[in-house]
Amino acid sequence: MKFRFQRKYLALPYLAFLLLFVVLPIILIVYYAFSDSTGRLSIWPLQNFFSDTDKLEVLVISLIFGFINTVLCLLIGYPVSMLLANKKYNKNIVLVMLFIMPMWINFVIRTWATRDLLAWMNLSGGKYPELATIIGLVYNYLPFAIMPLYTTMLKMDKSQIEAASDLGANPVQVFFKVIIPMTKPGVLSATTMVFMPTISSYVIADILGEGKVTLFGKYIELYYKSDWNNGSFLALIMLVLIGVTSLVSRKFTREDNTQVRSSIW
Amino acid sequence: MVKKHRGLAQIIIGRAFILFVLLLMYAPIIVLMIFSFTESTNVGTWEGFSLQLYVDLFKNKEIMQALFNTLMVALTSGVVATILGTLGAIGTFYMSRKGKKIMEGMTQIPIINAEVVIAISLAVLIVAVGAKFNFLTLLLGHVVLTVAFVYLSVKPKLMQMDPSIYEAALDLGATPSHAMRRVIFPEILPGIISGFMLSVTLSLDDYIITAFLRDNSFETISTYVQGVIAKSSIPPALRALTTVIFLIALLVLFVNNWKQKQEEKMKVFHTKGKVTNQ
Amino acid sequence: MKKILTIGLLALLVGVNALPASAALQASAAGEVKTLRIYNWSDYIYEPEEEDEAPSIIDQFIAKKRAEGVTVEVVYDTYATNEDMYNIMKLGKASYDLIAPSDYMIQKMAAENMLEEFDYDPLTQTYPDIPNYSTYASPYLKDVYDDINVSQYAVGYMWGTLGIVYNPNIDDGLGGTTTDDQMLEDLKSWAALWDPKYKGKVSIKDSMRDTYLIGLIHVHTEEIENLQAQYAAETISKEQFKAGMATLLNDTSPETIEKVSIALKELKENIYGLEVDSGKNDIVTGKIMMNTAWSGDAVYAMDIAEEEEGVELYYSIPEEGANIWFDGWVMPKGADKELAAEFLDFVSNPEIAALNMNYIGYTSFIAGQDILSLVHDWYDAEDGGVTVDLSYFFAGTITEDPLDPLTSPLITTDLIGRQFTAQYPTEDEITRCVIMQNFDQETNNQIVEMWADFKASRMSTWMIVVIVVLGVGLGALVAFQIVRRQKSQRHARKRVAHK
């Protein structure tokens, strides 16, 4: 029988790539996470993680930072995106791109510049390490929130809004009962794009917190320099955590969304 | 009458808010740009207007090399990721439901995974097979980072596409590969392009993966800055670099905008008579 | 059209990538091409900053070899900490001919068999392949090197101390500044770092070993004072004193680690932050008033502060003692020993060493008349000043008349307590400094745990507030959903009932 080239075979290189360089490394990490320095299987890193409260504390703190950063980015990003998507306030795409352009300038440079600026405003990491870190995080991740929100709001069905106000709803009701549900996929997308990188990033916290704010990502790096087993276990924890968050957010979408969440925006 | 006034006030407040946030976002960048026109070591001390930093920038071999490296990695990994991701998206689109689920699941991993974990897991793999760290390993890391994003950029275009046009093309006598190239490809092209742009953008800014997977001599702008932060809060020449990048980005923006305006004019011209809702 | 563009771009990228390879091929075809791979600290070798300055040391070496008919390519990479360098080498991520680690790291690498040996004669303390070093390196320093048994593995490059650079200038109320004498007094002790008077104005190193040492000094202050009293009263010899200090300041017993942990956490409350490199600029820009610094960084900060801000910074080697460190050139296994030795000989030439010192700000291992002239150049005071005897360093390498004030090892300078102390501490100051020793894996892991613990962020009240708010919010949301579902179910049931 002649070999029929089916279109789905086009995905083979991609599949091979993913298996080799995404799945396999994770298996290796799992191996290291459950072995000790001699290579034998052991649950020592597991015990170490739960017996040493520092690691848990740092993890919880990272989650809190992630949460706060996400909330702030949404609080600022949502109205900005609404205004940008509304023809009344913004006629062309230039303004939107301006919000995204800082991403072109290397974030390491931007973060060190922010450090100087904060010091000049007397908000330096020396005095307020956590505040400085949060400011830096919001500054860096705001575009990540604006992008999906803006895209979703562009596609909003304006006629539903008009219909709602025609039916007698006041602006507040319109906002909460019509606009917010319609932008849910955007909000979810924005949350994902901000929350997950935040809990795993550490460079910004390190620079702006003057070395005093140590997030989980930094911990992983710290341990990796000398102790692969503990480091791998921490990495695994991070992976599991992120996986769980992603599953939970996916459940949310499926529950009340008929639209297939088919894009990243 | 009152409504009109309220409308105007709303517009002003709205615009002001946007500009305010924008200003906050650009504050550090503006500071850098202002101080790119003076020669002092530290930001904050003004030593008189001078373009010396721009001269230094272009004469600085290390920065130029790092810049070149950064672009090289971004573009190369962008191309590779785009090819892999696009083919992957197309192939998966024609898979069974179960196949799709598996592919999508694996695709999600590098997106949601922490960069640190991706970097370390790849480093572990490379050490385990006894390979050396070089440009290829760095390229690998960047492709892993970005390929899933390309996939997710192309996929919605595939879903928005009318599935019957492929069949129609075959019915009209086209060979499968012809149909693929001439019919499907143009439909998903916007997704491919945005995937490529996304991949390049992510690559340009990357620090963690680069730091872990590079050959030690290979500097990108991120690693260069982190490594050289010794001499000054920000190496003075990099202030000039910030301004240059900003101006280039602004230029690209305006060119793009102007092109779009031209296209829109053409559209209106071509659909004379039809009322297009823009 | 777009396809052609893509293919063209790809071809260009491949081509560009292949270029360096082809260049290397051409070079090797032309004549003998050797590659020297060097891995050094960042900012640790002379490079010209202006057009009219001498070419870089690397370039000068390449030129010298070219004159001999040998084409040498130099690959020069840099690292920020010993541990980073060690990890790279251990992972086999790169191969080099010369690396310049610090004392304890040299010990570690030697113990783990990672280094080649130099041709070294311990009796005469000479390296036959490196005549310049054998002749001009300070015999005093060579002795110290012998103490830690690494002479056959390492050739000295730079050395210095870890002390405190600080800004004692305060407003004198008349529009100018004057030095705060109290601060000058306070900074004679490491305790100043913990002093709440300076809260928020202190920066320490984000480096495990260095900060651990400071913790040790703080914890062992009493024992140190006892030892010093004994030494001053001459009830113990210099060797016994140094041995006692070395033991105290390399102490890694679990009880001590615990005490250091507590002391460091106290310190953390008092600091502005931890840094690796930004400290020397932060003190110039005024973000901080004192910074634990390596002597070379201190010199840099002092120079810049004077030039750009007109501010005089000071450097202190506290009375309890400090750390004296050495960076030495080693050859990892597989290095090109011949080429490496040639480079080291070139770099150990006093003229070149002087050029290096001038640029880096650290102090070279190399002594000799050229270096001495340089020191006179820099530090001779026009009038007044204090006289320091540097013969401990230069003895055995000076050729000119030691009695002539222009060439003698006696320097009269007014930069004591400032740049001069950073570059050439007195013999007494050196005696109370301790070299860091290598810790074994077990011990090191314990200190890593302590360090991770120290670095960890702590929950503060506002975080707990956030958690509570979040918990309440989530709980309310869930309750809300449940109530809503029950309501709609009730409605549905009602509707069915009505039907």
Q: Cβ of B264: how many Cβ atoms within 10 Å? A: 12
**Where does residue B251 rank: exposed (0-12), middle (13-18), buried (19+ CB within 10 A)?**
exposed
Instruction: State the chains in contact with C (3 or more Cβ–Cβ pairs under 8 Å).
Output: A, B
Please report which residue ranges of C31-74 form alpha helices under DSSP H. 57-67
Q: Cβ of C495: how many Cβ atoms within 10 Å? A: 9
- The Cα A250–Cα A248 span in angstroms is 5
Looking at every residue in chain C, the average pLDDT score rounds to: 86
**Whole-number pLDDT of residue C442:** 80
Give tens-digit pLDDT for A129-184: 889 999 999 999 998 888 888 888 877 778 888 888 888 888 888 888 888 888 88
- The Cα A148–Cα A12 span in angstroms is 30
Counting every residue written for chain C, the total comes to 499
- The Cα A21–Cα B150 span in angstroms is 16
**Whole-number pLDDT of residue C1:** 47
Contact C466 A226 (CB under 8 A): no
Say how many CB pairs under 8 Å bridge A and B. 244
- Name which of A64, A119, A210 is nearest C466 (Cβ-Cβ): A64
Strand partners, C328: C156
* Phi and psi angles of residue A211, each rounded to the nearest 5 degrees, phi first: 75, 0
- The Cα A175–Cα B14 span in angstroms is 16
The answer to whether residue C78 neighbours chain B at the CB level (below 8 Å) is yes
Contact A108 B225 (CB under 8 A): yes
Q: Cβ of C471: how many Cβ atoms within 10 Å? A: 10
Instruction: State the chains in contact with A (3 or more Cβ–Cβ pairs under 8 Å).
Output: B, C
DSSP-derived secondary structure for chain B: -HHHHHHHHHHHHHHHHHHHHHHHHHHHHHHHHHGGGB--SSTT----B--HHHHHHHH-HHHHHHHHHHHHHHHHHHHHHHHHHHHHHHHHHTS-HHHHHHHHHHHHHHHHS-HHHHHHHHHHHHHHHTPPPSHHHHHHHHHHHHHHHHHHHHHHHHHHS-THHHHHHHHTT--HHHHIIIIIHHHHHHHHHHHHHHHHHHHHH--HHHHHHS-TT---HHHHHHHHTTTSSS-HHHHHHHHHHHHHHHHHHHHHHHHHHHHHHHHHHHTTTS----
Contact B176 A5 (CB under 8 A): yes
Q: Cβ of A157: how many Cβ atoms within 10 Å? A: 10
The answer to ipTM > 0.90 is no
pTM recorded for the entire structure:
0.78
**Whole-number pLDDT of residue A253:** 61
Among B211, B101, B86, which residue's Cα sits nearest to residue B155? B86
The encoded tokens of residue B11 equal 């517009």
The answer to whether residue C281 neighbours chain A at the CB level (below 8 Å) is no
DSSP E strands in chain A: the ranges are: none
Give tens-digit pLDDT for B106-156: 888 888 787 888 888 888 888 888 787 888 999 999 999 999 889 888 888
- Name which of A22, A103, A108 is nearest B110 (Cβ-Cβ): A22
The answer to whether residue B271 neighbours chain C at the CB level (below 8 Å) is no
Contact B127 C10 (CB under 8 A): no
Give tens-digit pLDDT for C296-354: 889 988 988 888 888 899 999 999 999 999 999 999 998 999 999 999 999 999 999 99
Query: DSSP code of C327?
Result: E
Looking at every residue in chain A, the average pLDDT score rounds to: 81
**Whole-number pLDDT of residue C380:** 86
Counting every residue written for chain B, the total comes to 278
Give tens-digit pLDDT for C154-210: 999 999 999 999 999 887 777 778 888 889 999 999 999 999 999 989 999 988 889
Q: How far apart are the first and last CA of chain A?
A: 44
Distance of residue A69 Cα from the nearest chain B Cα, in angstroms? 15
**Whole-number pLDDT of residue A263:** 39
- The Cα B87–Cα B84 span in angstroms is 5
The answer to whether residue B91 neighbours chain C at the CB level (below 8 Å) is no
- pLDDT tier for residue A45 given thresholds of 50, 70 and 90: confident
Structural domain boundaries of chain B?
2-37, 61-235
In the predicted structure, residue C84 carries a pLDDT above the cut 50:
yes
Residue C278 and residue C128 in contact, taking contact as beta carbons nearer than 8 Å: no
Contact C273 A119 (CB under 8 A): no
Contact B123 C308 (CB under 8 A): no
Give tens-digit pLDDT for C385-438: 888 888 888 888 888 877 887 788 888 888 888 999 999 998 888 888 998 888
DSSP E strands in C141-284: the ranges are: 154-166, 169-171, 177-179, 202-205, 273-275
Amino acid at A235: A
Residue B109 and residue A22 in contact, taking contact as beta carbons nearer than 8 Å: yes
Helix axes A228-256, A53-85, angle to 10 degrees: 40
**Whole-number pLDDT of residue C9:** 54
Counting every residue written for chain A, the total comes to 265
Give tens-digit pLDDT for B143-163: 999 998 898 888 888 887 888
Q: Measured between beta carbons, which residues in chain B are less than 8 angstroms from residue A245?
A: 112
Strand partners, C38: C76, C98
Convert C363-395 to b/e letters by CB count within 10 Å (16 or more is b): bbbbbbebbbebbbeebeeeeebeebebeebbe
- The Cα A229–Cα A31 span in angstroms is 9
Among B25, B213, B234, B39, which residue's Cα sits nearest to residue A104? B25
Contact B28 A117 (CB under 8 A): yes
Class of the CATH domain delimited by C160-329+363-455: alpha beta
Give tens-digit pLDDT for C97-117: 999 999 999 999 999 999 999
Among C336, C350, C334, which residue's Cα sits nearest to residue C399? C350
Residue C421 and residue C315 in contact, taking contact as beta carbons nearer than 8 Å: yes
Residue with tokens 């030095």: C179
Contact C455 A211 (CB under 8 A): yes
Min mean pLDDT across B212-226, B228-242, C67-81, C383-397 is at: B228-242
Class of the CATH domain delimited by B61-235: mainly alpha
H or E stretch at C386 = strand C386-389
Looking at every residue in chain B, the average pLDDT score rounds to: 83
Residue B48 and residue B38 in contact, taking contact as beta carbons nearer than 8 Å: yes
Residue C351 and residue C169 in contact, taking contact as beta carbons nearer than 8 Å: no
In the predicted structure, residue C24 carries a pLDDT above the cut 50:
no
- pLDDT tier for residue C21 given thresholds of 50, 70 and 90: very low
Among A104, A99, A97, A148, which residue's Cα sits nearest to residue B22? A99
The answer to whether residue C91 neighbours chain B at the CB level (below 8 Å) is yes
In the predicted structure, residue A88 carries a pLDDT above the cut 80:
no
Say how many CB pairs under 8 Å bridge B and C. 57
**Whole-number pLDDT of residue A259:** 39
Q: What is the average pLDDT across C24-53?
A: 76
Give tens-digit pLDDT for A187-230: 887 888 888 888 878 888 888 888 888 888 888 877 777 777 78
Q: Which of residues 56-85 of C touch A (CB under 8 A)?
A: 83-84
Gyration radius from chain C CA atoms: 29
Contact C284 B133 (CB under 8 A): no
The encoded tokens of residue C146 equal 């012998």
Q: Which CATH superfamily is domain A53-256 in?
A: MetI-like (1.10.3720.10)
Contact C9 B75 (CB under 8 A): yes
DSSP-derived secondary structure for C433-444: EE---PPPHHHH
Distances in whole angstroms, Cα of residue A15 to Cα of each of A12, B119, B153, B181 = 5, 20, 17, 21
- pLDDT tier for residue B6 given thresholds of 50, 70 and 90: low
* Phi and psi angles of residue C417, each rounded to the nearest 5 degrees, phi first: 80, 0
- Name which of C75, C94, C284 is nearest B42 (Cβ-Cβ): C284
Distances in whole angstroms, Cα of residue C477 to Cα of each of A54, A195, A251, C429 = 31, 20, 16, 67
The encoded tokens of residue B83 equal 């090819």
Amino acid at A248: V
Structural domain boundaries of chain C?
160-329+363-455
